[in-house]
Chain A
Amino acid sequence: MQFFFEVLIGGLLSGVMYSLVALGFVLIYKASGVFNFAQGAMVFFAALTFVGITELGVPFGFALILAFGAMILLAIATERVVLRQLVNQPQITLFMATIGLTFFVEGLAQGMWGASVRGLEIPGIQDEPLEWMMEATGIGVSKFDLFAAGVSAILVVVLAIFFNKTRVGRALRAVADDHQAALAIGIPLQDIWRIVWAVAGLVALVAGVMWGARNGVQFALTFVALKALPVLIIGGFTSIPGAIVGGLIIGASEKLGEIYIPPFVQSTFGIETSLGGIEGWFPYVMALLFLLVRPEGLFGEKHIDRV
């Protein structure tokens, strides 16, 4: 049982990290209806830029600000060069454009900072188990994971306030609701897009720093996006709480599934080869099962078809 809880908590905490990436997707999808496949590349770009800047001897906090600046520049350039030209195109075209953007950003990041694997350390936070927790219950919970969960919680609260209480946030929601109506009442669409991409860039930066500190900053960071997709379909493309809940569900079920399902299947069907490594597709199948019950995800907007 202890082992079960340890796996569960580890899974939930790593689920938070998936949520961080999924948040970036949700923000952009909500505000512009673009399914931004480049989010993973943005995470990679942000992390690599941040590490590159710290390697030049810039202190941690200042490097964060500089990297955020780079993400803002990227957002402005994306809006200017890609989105503005593709207004009113079908969603699949925009989706393809973001795949093109993925290649571009990946090439740009590696071209600027080199392709070698870098370490990234957050000062003061080590990936070691909490001592009092270990002593009291025997369950190991990593300090780093807790820190990551805390940061994402703060991020979600800040985003929620930003979306619900500020003028820009209200404009964002208006744009998400209806582009044309928002334009008609004088909301500058292009500014909104720039802001949303910049915010998604900030989320990517946070996710990049977290994932980079956990796994090292390397090209594999771009695959993190693939982990975030089932989170998205469970939570719904348009819901920030959905991204969090979806992340927790995926994180926990993935880790538990990886531990318990392969041995179970192997013993029931008498298969001798190891069936491990199901984490690549298990979240997707989970997400599919959810979709069969709720086609819009848990928190997605209900879609009503009219002829």
Chain B
Amino acid sequence: MLYREAGQFKASYREDQQIFPIRQDRIAIALILAFFYLVVPYFATQYWLQGILIPTLIFALAAIGLNILTGYAGQLSLGSAAFMAVGAFAAYNFVLRVPGMPILAAFILAGLCAAAVGMVFGLPSLRIKGFYLAVATLAAQFFIVWALTKFPWFSNNSSSGVITAQKVEIFGYAFESPEAKYLLTLAVVTVLALLAKNMVRSSIGRSWMAIRDMDVAAEVIGIRPMHTKLMAFAVSSFYCGVAGALYAYTYLGTVEPEGFNLDLSFKILFMVIIGGVGSIMGSFLGAAFIVLLPIFLNVAMHALGGLVPQGISSNLELIVFGGLIIFFLIVEPHGLARLWQIGKEKLRLWPFPH
């Protein structure tokens, strides 16, 4: 009854091509944004901001990056954490070595560096596909982490490659409190997420999907596979790179190459799969799920307290985490985004059954 597009006529091309063509969607998005920009910073505790909201946003950004590559362009990648590492270290070096470098420009340059590296490691995708490609992207994962550890130039000669992010300052305002960092992250993520949402329905997004669905057919109708695939790798790595820079600057503050290991890559892949392959919204849902699940499990274990011995509880967490992932894949292989869509469909019909 409330959620229905009936009666909303599109009288101009502009109206027809909006990102959110349905008025209720626009209102909902505006409300959600208002909530996260205006309400959350006032009420959230420091733990919520630092421990849950900021990582969720950053991981969501990385998941959007991987989703562009895997969900839209169909190229399975296991190296997203490495591209995050490139972003983090590139941003650090830009701020360190270029005097007066504005931090946002450093983030963008970091993203571009990651994009360039991503394109290099995307080259094999022209020749190989599927799991062969997935394993090939592992080369990126291991090589980049190794290179960042081995060449001290990247980390300004610190021991074992640990870098400490510089202070974040924009136009003289220092982003130091958790609230400020949260708002900065949120702003970057909002802009990039809207951009991604727009990109995937543009001509480049459509050619990604064509390549994903069948690359030979796409080539036949005139989509250049090399251009399209490399573009997907570049854009995806750009997002991962910016996410990596945020990871260093607004979330952890101190990062080392080893932190961007294969586990992190898998984590991001989990977010994409659980959130929904080929969905921007799903990336956020997946990120929230993966960030919250271990915290929730931990709390649950503590609540059980005396029942479970200390040594077993961490293993029990592993078991439950693995089990839940399998459970989710079985129950809803299309991810949380699909549930969201089903909900919307239901809402459209409500209160009628059909």
The yes or no verdict on A and B being binding partners is yes
Q: Is B20 close to A, CB under 8 A?
A: no
Do residues B128 and A89 form an inter-chain contact, with CB atoms below 8 A?
A: no
- In the complex, which residues of chain A have a beta carbon less than 8 angstroms from the beta carbon of B191? none
Q: Which of B76, B143, B217, B322 contacts A100 (CB 8 A)?
A: B322
From B142, which residue of chain A is reached at the shortest CB distance? A281
Do residues B333 and A86 form an inter-chain contact, with CB atoms below 8 A?
A: yes
Q: Is A108 close to B, CB under 8 A?
A: yes
Q: Is B323 close to A, CB under 8 A?
A: yes
Decide: A93 near B143, CB < 8 A? Known: A100-B323, A107-B318, A111-B316.
Answer: no
- In the complex, which residues of chain B have a beta carbon less than 8 angstroms from the beta carbon of A68? none
Q: How many chain A residues touch the partner (CB < 8 A)?
A: 52
Do residues A229 and B333 form an inter-chain contact, with CB atoms below 8 A?
A: no
- In the complex, which residues of chain A have a beta carbon less than 8 angstroms from the beta carbon of B333? 86, 89-90, 93
Q: Is A92 close to B, CB under 8 A?
A: yes
Q: Which of B132, B151, B216 contacts A273 (CB 8 A)?
A: B151
Do residues B124 and A288 form an inter-chain contact, with CB atoms below 8 A?
A: yes
Do residues A104 and B216 form an inter-chain contact, with CB atoms below 8 A?
A: no
**Whole-angstrom distance between the alpha carbons of A305 and B269 in the complex?**
27
User: Which residues of B in the span 118-159 have a Cβ within 8 Å of any Cβ on A?
Assistant: 124, 127-132, 134-136, 138-139, 142-143, 145-146, 150-152
Whole-angstrom distance from the CB of A283 to the nearest CB of chain B?
Answer: 9
Do residues B325 and A95 form an inter-chain contact, with CB atoms below 8 A?
A: no
Q: Is A215 close to B, CB under 8 A?
A: no
- In the complex, which residues of chain B have a beta carbon less than 8 angstroms from the beta carbon of A291? 124, 127-128, 132, 136
Whole-angstrom distance from the CB of B236 to the nearest CB of chain A?
Answer: 16
Do residues B136 and A306 form an inter-chain contact, with CB atoms below 8 A?
A: no
Decide: A295 near B318, CB < 8 A? Known: A81-B326, A100-B329, A226-B138.
Answer: no
Do residues B216 and A295 form an inter-chain contact, with CB atoms below 8 A?
A: no
Q: Which of A107, A273, A287, A292 contacts B322 (CB 8 A)?
A: A107
User: Which residues of A in the span 184-227 have a Cβ within 8 Å of any Cβ on B?
Assistant: 226
Do residues A100 and B326 form an inter-chain contact, with CB atoms below 8 A?
A: yes
**Whole-angstrom distance between the alpha carbons of A85 and B70 in the complex?**
23
What 0/1 readout, one digit per residue, does chain A (85-111) give for beta carbons within 8 Å of chain B?
110011111011101111111111011
Decide: A233 near B143, CB < 8 A? Known: A97-B326, A107-B315.
Answer: no
Decide: A297 near B132, CB < 8 A? Known: A85-B330, A96-B329, A285-B139.
Answer: yes
Do residues A104 and B322 form an inter-chain contact, with CB atoms below 8 A?
A: yes
**Whole-angstrom distance between the alpha carbons of A285 and B121 in the complex?**
11
- In the complex, which residues of chain B have a beta carbon less than 8 angstroms from the beta carbon of A229? 135, 138
From B214, which residue of chain A is reached at the shortest CB distance? A307
Decide: A111 near B312, CB < 8 A? Known: A230-B135, A284-B138, A295-B132.
Answer: yes
Do residues A92 and B146 form an inter-chain contact, with CB atoms below 8 A?
A: no
Do residues A103 and B128 form an inter-chain contact, with CB atoms below 8 A?
A: no
Do residues A107 and B319 form an inter-chain contact, with CB atoms below 8 A?
A: yes
What 0/1 readout, one digit per residue, does chain A (258-280) give for beta carbons within 8 Å of chain B?
00000000000000011101101
Do residues A284 and B214 form an inter-chain contact, with CB atoms below 8 A?
A: no
**Whole-angstrom distance between the alpha carbons of A100 and B262 in the complex?**
15
Q: Is A138 close to B, CB under 8 A?
A: no
- In the complex, which residues of chain A have a beta carbon less than 8 angstroms from the beta carbon of B325? 96-97, 99-100, 103
- In the complex, which residues of chain B have a beta carbon less than 8 angstroms from the beta carbon of A278? 146
Do residues A93 and B124 form an inter-chain contact, with CB atoms below 8 A?
A: no
- In the complex, which residues of chain B have a beta carbon less than 8 angstroms from the beta carbon of A85? 330
Do residues A96 and B273 form an inter-chain contact, with CB atoms below 8 A?
A: yes
Do residues B139 and A288 form an inter-chain contact, with CB atoms below 8 A?
A: yes
**Whole-angstrom distance between the alpha carbons of A242 and B151 in the complex?**
36
- In the complex, which residues of chain A have a beta carbon less than 8 angstroms from the beta carbon of B262? 226
Do residues B135 and A104 form an inter-chain contact, with CB atoms below 8 A?
A: no
Do residues B270 and A99 form an inter-chain contact, with CB atoms below 8 A?
A: yes
Whole-angstrom distance from the CB of A212 to the nearest CB of chain B?
Answer: 19
Q: Is A114 close to B, CB under 8 A?
A: yes
Residues of B at the A interface (CB closer than 8 Å) are: 70, 76, 124, 127-132, 134-136, 138-139, 142-143, 145-146, 150-152, 214-217, 220, 262, 266, 269-270, 273, 277, 311-312, 315-326, 329-330, 333
Residues of A at the B interface (CB closer than 8 Å) are: 35, 81-82, 85-86, 89-93, 95-97, 99-108, 110-111, 114-115, 226, 229-230, 232-233, 237, 273-275, 277-278, 280-281, 284-285, 287-288, 291-292, 295-297, 305-307
- 13 more A-B residue pairs beyond the given contacts A101-B322, A115-B315, with a C-beta to C-beta distance below 8 A: A97-B326, A97-B330, A102-B322, A103-B322, A107-B316, A226-B138, A233-B132, A273-B151, A285-B143, A288-B124, A295-B132, A296-B132, A307-B217
Listed A/B pairs (21) with beta-carbon separation below 8 Å = A81-B326, A92-B70, A100-B324, A103-B321, A104-B326, A107-B322, A237-B131, A274-B150, A275-B150, A280-B145, A280-B146, A281-B139, A284-B138, A284-B143, A285-B139, A287-B136, A291-B128, A295-B127, A295-B128, A297-B132, A307-B214
